[in-house]
Amino acid sequence: MATIRFTSHLVRHRPAPMIEAMGPTLAEVLAAAFADDPLLRGYVLDEQGRLRKHVNIYLDGELIADRLRLSDPVAAGAEIYVLQALSGG
């Protein structure tokens, strides 16, 4: 079971409690996590299922590699953090 946590910034817009979900890849874990609130999905992914440009996901401490298909493998007990990206100048 992987654990997914969201930032307080996202929670300001949409309730996003800590979620536990299972799946072999990040895409599947997130799909399970968003099953109860499809609108939450739209804050993290666009309608094509790609990670939003200004959102980052850390999987066990590492930035994920595949932002398009979210194919990064997820180990049992993985810790996933969904963060807004800090960019701009």
Partner 1 sequence: MATLWVGTRKGLFRYDQGAADQSHTDQGRTWAQVGKPAFLAAPVTFVLDDPRDGALFVALSHGHFGCKLHRSEDRGASWVELPAPAFPLSDAPDAPALELIWSIVPGGADQPGVLWAGTIPGGCSGQTTAAQAGRSAPGCGTGQSAPAGWAAAMITPAFTRFWLIRETAPM
For partner 1, the binding residues (CB under 8 A) are 9-10, 13-14, 38-39, 42-44, 46-50, 52, 54-55, 68, 84-85
User: In the complex, what is the shortest distance from the CB of residue 13 to partner 1, in angstroms, rounded to a whole number?
Assistant: 6
User: In the complex, what is the shortest distance from the CB of residue 49 to partner 1, in angstroms, rounded to a whole number?
Assistant: 8
Task: Output 3 or 14, the one with its CB closest to partner 1.
Answer: 14
Cβ-contact 80, 16 below 8 angstroms: no
Task: Output 47 or 62, the one with its CB closest to partner 1.
Answer: 47
User: In the complex, what is the shortest distance from the CB of residue 29 to partner 1, in angstroms, rounded to a whole number?
Assistant: 19
Hey, what are 80's tokens? 């996933």
Task: Output 1 or 57, the one with its CB closest to partner 1.
Answer: 57
DSSP characters over the chain:
-EEEEE-HHHHHHS----EEE--SBHHHHHHHHTTT-HHHHHHHB-TTSPBPTTEEEEETTEE-S-TTT---B--TT-EEEEEE-----
